C-alpha cells in the first residue's frame, strides 16, 4: 500500500495486488473501508490496483488484517507513492528500439520479452473490409479518414519520436505499449496519427476493426453505456480523440473508464489524443488519469518557423562582351598551403566562480574510441549543476553506452563541460552565450537536483524558450531520469536528425 493523498482526501491510499479477478472481488468485498473501482496496472510485480478512501490509522490496521487473513503467506508492504508512480514498465524500451532501428538501418521486430504483459488480441468474429473498417451498426464508430495515413504524415525532428512510436503500436497492436497517449496543440498532427494507426491496423488484418470515438460523445451521452457490458462487436482497438472534452462530465468519464477497462483487460490496443499531457488534465477523475498514464505518453511539437530570405536585387543588364584576347601562358601555381587547424574560442567565464575555479576547455567525444568516417559529427556544449561532477560522469557514460547499443551513426564532440550555479537565481542567458562563444548550436544540459526552487519542467521550459530564440537545440536530461536509458536514446535520436551544420 502507498499513501496517495489528494486535496479532497488526505488519507487516501493506493493498494496494488497480484491475483485473479475473483480474488480481487473477494478482497474488496471484505475490506472495512470505502474503495474505488479497481483498474489494471502494467507493473511487473502487480496486476491490479485500487484506491482506499478515508483510511484512518484504526481502519488501516483492520485493512492489513484482512489482507493477511486472505493471503497468509503474502506480505503487506508500505511503499513510497512517488517512487511507485515514477517507475516505468520495461516494455517502453521496445518502442524506443523500434525508433532507433529506423535510424541505424536495421529491420525486424524487437526481441520478444518474457514476463507479464498484455496478451495479443484475438481475431474478431466479424470480417471487416480494410477500406472501411466498419463496425456493427449498433456501435457508433466514427469513420477512419482514408487520406490520414502514415505515408501522408510529414516527419521531422519535432515529431520523429512520436511518429516512430505510433508506427510501432500500429504494427503490433496491444503488444508494444498500451495505451498510447499523444498530446499536442491544434494542428500538430495528433488526429492524423490517430487515424493512421487505425488504417494500419485494419489494413494489416481484415479480421480486425477499430472503434473510433470523439470524446465529446461520451460527454454528451452519445455513446450507449448499455453496449459496454458486452465487448463483442466493439472492435479490436479503441481510438479516442480529444480526451480533454470529458472535463465537467461525470457520466462521460464513467463511460470512458468502463470502455477503457473492457479493451485493456483483453489486451486490445488503446490510443488517446489530447491537447495537453495527462498531468494538465486536473479536472478529470483521478482513476481516469491513472489509466491514461499507464502507457507511453508522448508529445507532438510544431515545426520551427522558417524565415524567408530577403529577395536578391535584380542584376544589372550585361554590357556587350569585349573581344576575346587569348591570355599569355600562366606561370605554374605554387602548392596550396595546408589549411590551419580549426580554432575553438575559449568559453565564457562562469558567473560566481573565481578565475582559478573556471573550468579548463576540454574536448570530449561520445562515444569514445576511434572515429568512424561514416559517422556524422555533432558539436555540443555540455552543462551540469555545480558540484555534481559524479552525476555528470554518469550522464556522459550513459550517452556512450546507448549510442553504441543502438548503432547510431553519429559522434558527439563535446566542446566544453561547464558547471552552472543552481542554488541562487539562474543566469539563463549564460547558456546561449556559452554556445555562441563555442560556435555550436547544440546544448546538452543535466537538470538541477530536486532541491531547486523550480520544477524540472519549469527549468527546461524557460531554458528551451530562450535557446529556441537563438536557434540552439536543447537536449535536456532531467535529474530524476539520470539513470533512465530511454531518455538518452530519445536525445540521441534527436541529435541524429540535426542538420550537419549543427
The number of helix segments (H) and strand segments (E) in the chain equals: 13, 15
376-497 matches 150-299 in CATH topology: yes
Q: Architecture of domain 150-299 in CATH?
A: 3-Layer(aba) Sandwich (3.40)
The answer to whether the beta carbons of residues 190 and 215 sit under 8 Å apart is no
Over the chain, what is the mean pLDDT? Answer: 75
Q: Smallest Cα–Cα separation from 182: which of 296, 303, 263?
A: 296
Residue that is written with C-alpha cell 470502455 in the block: 259
Q: Architecture of domain 376-497 in CATH?
A: 3-Layer(aba) Sandwich (3.40)
To the question of pTM greater than 0.75 for the whole model, the response is no
| Peptide bond just before 179 cis, omega within 30 deg | yes
User: Which pLDDT score, from 0 to 100, does residue 357 have?
Assistant: 47
Give the whole-angstrom CA distance, residue 143 versus residue 212.
7
Residue 135 has pLDDT above 90, yes or no: no
pLDDT in tens, 343-366: 444 454 555 545 544 544 455 677
List the domain boundaries for the chain. Answer: 2-82, 150-299, 376-497
Average pLDDT score over residue span 73-77: 71
CA distances from 366 to 195, 329, 398, 442, 444 (A): 39, 52, 10, 14, 12
Residue 387 has pLDDT above 80, yes or no: yes
pLDDT in tens, 226-268: 666 655 667 788 999 999 988 888 888 888 888 898 888 888 9
Least confident of 54-68, 216-230, 474-488: 216-230
Band (pLDDT 50/70/90 cuts) for residue 191 is very high
Least confident of 208-212, 231-235, 370-374: 231-235
Q: Smallest Cα–Cα separation from 272: which of 303, 249, 293?
A: 293
DSSP-derived letter for residue 6 is B
Quick count: other Cβ atoms within 10 Å of Cβ 232?
Answer: 9
Least confident of 80-84, 174-178, 291-295: 80-84
Distance of CA 126 to the CA centre of its chain: 35
Residue 97 has pLDDT above 50, yes or no: no
pLDDT in tens, 421-448: 888 778 888 999 999 898 888 999 999 9
In CATH, what class is 2-82?
Answer: alpha beta
Average pLDDT score over residue span 12-31: 84
The answer to whether the beta carbons of residues 223 and 213 sit under 8 Å apart is yes
Band (pLDDT 50/70/90 cuts) for residue 394 is very high
Residue 90 region, left (φ>0) first, then alpha (ψ -120 to 50), else beta?
alpha
Amino acid at each position: 500500500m502507498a499513501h496517495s493523498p489528494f486535496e479532497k482526501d488526505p488519507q487516501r491510499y493506493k493498494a496494488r495486488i497480484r491475483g485473479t479477478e475473483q480474488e480481487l472481488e473477494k478482497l474488496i468485498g471484505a475490506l472495512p473501508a470505502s474503495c474505488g473501482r479497481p483498474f489494471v496496472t502494467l507493473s511487473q510485480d502487480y496486476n491490479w490496483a485500487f484506491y482506499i478512501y478515508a483510511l484512518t490509522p484504526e481502519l488501516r490496521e483492520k485493512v492489513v488484517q484482512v489482507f493477511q487473513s486472505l493471503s497468509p503467506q503474502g506480505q503487506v508492504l508500505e511503499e513510497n507513492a512517488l517512487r511507485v508512480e515514477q517507475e516505468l514498465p520495461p516494455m517502453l524500451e521496445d518502442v524506443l528500439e523500434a525508433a532507433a532501428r529506423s535510424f541505424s538501418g536495421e529491420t525486424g521486430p524487437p526481441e520478444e520479452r518474457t514476463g507479464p504483459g498484455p496478451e495479443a488480441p484475438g481475431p474478431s468474429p466479424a470480417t471487416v473490409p480494410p477500406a472501411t473498417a466498419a463496425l456493427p451498426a449498433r456501435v457508433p464508430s466514427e469513420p477512419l479518414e482514408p487520406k490520414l495515413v502514415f505515408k501522408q504524415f510529414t516527419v521531422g525532428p519535432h515529431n520523429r519520436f512520436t511518429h516512430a512510436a505510433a508506427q510501432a503500436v500500429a504494427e503490433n497492436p496491444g503488444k508494444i505499449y498500451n495505451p498510447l497517449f499523444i498530446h499536442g496543440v491544434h494542428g500538430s498532427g495528433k488526429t492524423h496519427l490517430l487515424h493512421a494507426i487505425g488504417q494500419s491496423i485494419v489494413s494489416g488484418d481484415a479480421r480486425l476493426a477499430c472503434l473510433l470515438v470523439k470524446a465529446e460523445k461520451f460527454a454528451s451521452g452519445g455513446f450507449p453505456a448499455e453496449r459496454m457490458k458486452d465487448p463483442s462487436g466493439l472492435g479490436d482497438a479503441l481510438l479516442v480523440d480529444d480526451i480533454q472534452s470529458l472535463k465537467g462530465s461525470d457520466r462521460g468519464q464513467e463511460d470512458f473508464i468502463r470502455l477503457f477497462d473492457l479493451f485493456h483487460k483483453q489486451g486490445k490496443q488503446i490510443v488517446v489524443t489530447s491537447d495537453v499531457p495527462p498531468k494538465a488534465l486536473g479536472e478529470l477523475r483521478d482513476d481516469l488519469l491513472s489509466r491514461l498514464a499507464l502507457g507511453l505518453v508522448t508529445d507532438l511539437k510544431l515545426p520551427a518557423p522558417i524565415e524567408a530570405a530577403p529577395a536578391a536585387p535584380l542584376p544589372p543588364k550585361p554590357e556587350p562582351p569585349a573581344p576575346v584576347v587569348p591570355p599569355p601562358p600562366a606561370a605554374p601555381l605554387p602548392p596550396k598551403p595546408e589549411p590551419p587547424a580549426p580554432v575553438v574560442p575559449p568559453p565564457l567565464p562562469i558567473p560566481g566562480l573565481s578565475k582559478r575555479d573556471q573550468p579548463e576547455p576540454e574536448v570530449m567525444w561520445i562515444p569514445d574510441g576511434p572515429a568512424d568516417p561514416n559517422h556524422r559529427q555533432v558539436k555540443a556544449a555540455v552543462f551540469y549543476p555545480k558540484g555534481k561532477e559524479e552525476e555528470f560522469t554518469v550522464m556522459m557514460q550513459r550517452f556512450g553506452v546507448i549510442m553504441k547499443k543502438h548503432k547510431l551513426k553519429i559522434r558527439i564532440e563535446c566542446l566544453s563541460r561547464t558547471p552552472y550555479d543552481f542554488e541562487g537565481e539562474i543566469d539563463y542567458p549564460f547558456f546561449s552565450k556559452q554556445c555562441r562563444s563555442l560556435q555550436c548550436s547544440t546544448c546538452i544540459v543535466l537538470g538541477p537536483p530536486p532541491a531547486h526552487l523550480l520544477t524540472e519542467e519549469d527549468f527546461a521550459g524557460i531554458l528551451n524558450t530562450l535557446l529556441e530564440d537563438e536557434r540552439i537545440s536543447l537536449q535536456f536530461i532531467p535529474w530524476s531520469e539520470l539513470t533512465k536509458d530511454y531518455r538518452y536514446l530519445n536525445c540521441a535520436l534527436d541529435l541524429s536528425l540535426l542538420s550537419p551544420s549543427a
